[in-house]
Amino acid sequence: MAQHYVYTFYAKLENFQPTIWRRFEISGKKSMAQLGYTLMILFEMKASHLFCFTQDNQKNFKKILLKTYTEDELEEFFNEHDINELCPNMRYELDFGEERWTEPNEQLIDADMITLTSIKDRIGLELNFNYDYGDNWHVKLRLEKCEKKEVSLASLPKVIEGSGFGIVEDVGGVSGLTEFVKILNKKRGNKFDKMSQWSDADSFDINTFDMDDLNFRLTKLIRVYKEIYEYGHEPTKKSIHIIERKYQEDVGTPIVKSINS
């Protein structure tokens, strides 16, 4: 079996309680876009919105300099030098042929044109993953390990630990998910009736975590998400069947009753 670089990431859904997190492995040959598809699958995002990664290089740059210089010396240095030119932040996003928005201090990179090998020497690197710019979901990502080992690339990406279910599409972001969980757990009242009708669910367990199911979905959906985002393909009925977890209903053991996106 050949040796490949394997990256271990820790990822956590920001600003939500109880904590929803994943620890997973992924091949260094995967692109930043494929890292994004992996996160979507692991956090129940159904490939129906735009996404990007941002990398705060300036924060890390200042942290490194503070090991050598005082804050006063650092302030004097940045009064004389433009940090945006010295160390621009990164924004990884797909190019759909339209103008893309960036912060003044960001350098834009096509997410499908760069692989994870570009960060193999940066243990501790933090990235922010932003999905659905309306609901504005954020997942904080930290690179914990990068090691070369014998592994079948067909087995990656793979989740190895985690907790919690993930998001619900179009629910209104973190505050909407909090309200959604509260209403469905109440199991009665006008709000419950409306929410269960909207979501096609009469129960929801935010603490559910099934590692085997997530790893099954990773093997089936990475290619599907890539085709949606990079080639503009509509998902097939079979792909939608997997995205919506209809296979669990087929065997009569759904983890969570199906929620429409």
Q: Please report the pLDDT score of residue 250 as a whole number.
A: 57
Q: Please report the pLDDT score of residue 182 as a whole number.
A: 94
Q: Please report the pLDDT score of residue 261 as a whole number.
A: 32
Residues of the chain with confidence (pLDDT) below 70: 250-261
CA 196 to chain centre: 26
CB contact at 8 A, 239 and 228: no
Q: Are residues 107 and 64 in the same domain?
A: yes
- The 3-state secondary structure of 76-115 reads HHHHHCCHHHHCCEEEEECCCCCCCCCCCCEEEEECCCCE
Q: Are residues 191 and 236 in the same domain?
A: no
Residue 257 in domain: no
Q: Are residues 116 and 22 in the same domain?
A: yes
Residue 132 in domain: yes
Residue 232 in domain: yes
Structure tokens at 29: 């040959």
Q: Please report the pLDDT score of residue 146 as a whole number.
A: 94
Domain count, the chain: 2
Q: Are residues 129 and 12 in the same domain?
A: yes
Q: Please report the pLDDT score of residue 62 as a whole number.
A: 79
Q: Please report the pLDDT score of residue 259 as a whole number.
A: 39
pLDDT tens digits for 82-123? 877 778 899 999 999 888 888 888 999 999 999 999 877 788
Q: What are phi and psi of 15, to 5 degrees?
A: 65, 30
Structure tokens at 132: 């659905």
Q: Is the peptide bond before 157 cis (omega within 30 degrees of 0)?
A: yes
What whole-number percentage of the chain has pLDDT above 90?
A: 70
Q: Please report the pLDDT score of residue 114 as a whole number.
A: 95
Q: What's the pTM value of the predicted model, to 2 decimals?
A: 0.90
165: burial class by Cβ within 10 Å (0-12, 13-18, 19+)? Answer: buried
Whichever domain contains 243, its CATH number is: 3.10.290.30
Residue 261 in domain: no
- What is the span of the domain harbouring residue 201? 168-205
| Angle, alpha carbons 111-16-60 (nearest 5°) | 50
Instruction: Please identify which residue in the block is written with the tokens 């009753």.
Output: 257
Q: Are residues 201 and 211 in the same domain?
A: no
Q: Please report the pLDDT score of residue 254 as a whole number.
A: 42
Q: What are phi and psi of 19, to 5 degrees?
A: -60, 130
